[in-house]
Amino acid sequence: MVSNNPRNTVSVYSTEHGRLCPECSRPVGACTCATRSSTVPRGDGIVRVGRQTKGRKGSGVTTVSGLPLAPDRLRDLAGQLKKKCGAGGAVKDGVIEIQGEHRDLLVAELTRLGYTVKRAGG
């Protein structure tokens, strides 16, 4: 591997571009390496929909984890689910977070989309 770094180390973050691919040193969104194409997480095939309030000063978010999707497809699904719920949210570390209590709606929508879904937590 050829590196542009004079110390011959691999950069994984740039203040200009954010996270970088360790293989090709391109921004993660523009990476075309074989390692990026196989980043779909493996799991038990069950999508879990839960609720978290920890570290959010009492404000709850509904979390959707266990989706076997690539990061770009996960972002697209998150946008679709946020529109369905009429709420904001984000994708963090492969987990979709949607603001508010929307577990029942998300379970129904993900089941309609063909996923095996379980309510997690209380």
Q: What predicted TM-score, i.e. pTM, was given to this entire model? A: 0.64
Domains recognised in the chain with CATH numbers: 8-39 (no CATH), 46-119 (3.30.780.10)
> Does the pLDDT value for residue 4 go beyond 60?
no
Strand-pairing partners, residue 91, are 96
pLDDT (tens digit, 9 = 90+) per residue, 18-61?
676 666 777 766 776 655 444 555 667 789 999 888 777 778 89
11 has pLDDT over 50: yes
